[in-house]
Amino acid sequence: MRFQDQAVLVTGGGSGIGQQVCFAAAREGARVAVGDLDLERAEATAATIRGTGGEAHAFRLDVTDPASVTAFVAAAETTLGRLDVLVNSAGIREIVSVLDLSLEEWQRVIGVNLTGTFLPSQAFARRLVALDRPGRIVNLASTLGISAAPNRAAYTASKHGVVGITKEMALELGDRGIRVNAVAPGVVRTPMTERYFQDPVQAQVIRDIHAVGRWAEPAEVAHAILFLAEEANGFVTGAILTVDGGWTIGKKM
Ligand SMILES: NC(=O)c1ccc[n+]([C@@H]2O[C@H](COP(=O)([O-])OP(=O)(O)OC[C@H]3O[C@@H](n4cnc5c(N)ncnc54)[C@H](O)[C@@H]3O)[C@@H](O)[C@H]2O)c1
């Protein structure tokens, strides 16, 4: 098993992509720390893993709060006895025109998606450096970290920022044995996007923007995340792996 006895920490592990990362890592032998603002959802993820014979622990976590982040990393280390992988999957999105976007909405999205990637990554890397241990971080960017779509200014800016912090941390931490990569998914069917699929017109638009003619399931993104996180992938760092069904390669004519 690729993650046998390794400690895998997941922010936003109570739902969607993060939850599938928890499940997939546990199937590969990992011991999982599930962090989420919604403790009930984190507990449900952990209980599902324990129900299949795996090890998982749920923690309430607010990725925008430095004290909460430090406590999460410390509790995970104490509980699991080591630190190997951090996946930053906590995220939110607002759909509003740039002219109407309020400062409060802007700050909320940047706070969770960008600051909420920086803080756990920094806390995790600081502990690895203190322990003189290697580790891997995988961030959730997006196709909107590479290109743009209307009415998503804060989200697009936050995901471009995630691409930047991924490259920056990979550069600074590479010689400490810490690899930092990101995935850039297209549209993935999760609670965040579920509303799209209730509208047949919008669902068809979503099929059409992906070269493969469909949206992704969260387990497919989790698979790519674990590929970046696995030890065998030791020479991959600073990479932004598109998992986007061909969205960003170009438009169909
Ligand atoms: N679904 C998509 O189409 C898609 C595409 C590209 C990128 N992404 C990114 O993938 C990540 C996961 O998205 P998802 O679709 O699984 O969303 P989701 O809404 O299903 O899950 C997000 C989780 O993050 C948690 N969360 C929110 N704010 C938090 C905070 N302050 N602290 C801790 N946890 C918090 C939520 O409680 C939730 O459990 C996000 O970063 C998202 O931007 C999603």
Which tens digits make up the pLDDT trace of 75-121? 999 999 999 999 999 999 999 999 999 999 999 999 999 999 999 99
**Vertex 223 angle, CA 56 and 49, to 5°:** 20
Residue in 9, 39, 86, 140 to alter for ligand 1 test, most ligand atoms within 8 A of Cβ: 140
Q: How far is CA 97 from the centre of its chain?
A: 25
Distance from residue 253's CA to the centre of ligand 1 (Å): 32
Residue 81: its pLDDT value, please?
Answer: 97
Is the beta carbon of 123 within 6 A of some atom in ligand 1? Answer: no
Q: For 20-54, b where at least 16 C-beta lie within 10 A, e where not — what string? A: bbbbbbbebebbbbbbbbeeebbbbbbebbeeeeb
Domain chopping of the chain, boundaries: 7-188+216-248
Distance CA 73, CA 87 (A): 12
DSSP H/E element including 84: none
Q: Is the CB of 209 under 6 A from ligand 1?
A: no
| Catalytic residue check, 155 | yes
Q: Tell me what pLDDT residue 62 has.
A: 99
At residue 252 the predicted structure's pLDDT band, cuts being 50, 70 and 90, is confident
pLDDT for 43 beyond 90:
yes
Q: Among residues of the chain, what percentage have pLDDT more than 90?
A: 99
Where on the phi/psi map is residue 177: left (φ > 0), alpha (ψ -120 to 50), or beta? left
Per-residue pLDDT band at 251 (split at 50, 70, 90): confident
The active-site residue, picked from 3, 72, 118, 155, is 155
> Please, are residues 43 and 66 in contact by the beta-carbon 8 Å criterion?
no
CATH 3.40.50.720 for domain 7-188+216-248:
yes
Please answer whether residues 15 and 191 qualify as being in contact, where contact means their C-beta atoms are separated by less than 8 angstroms: yes
β-pair partners for 11: 35, 88
CA–CA gap between residue 94 and residue 166 (Å, rounded): 23
Contact yes or no for 188/215 (Cβ under 8 A): yes
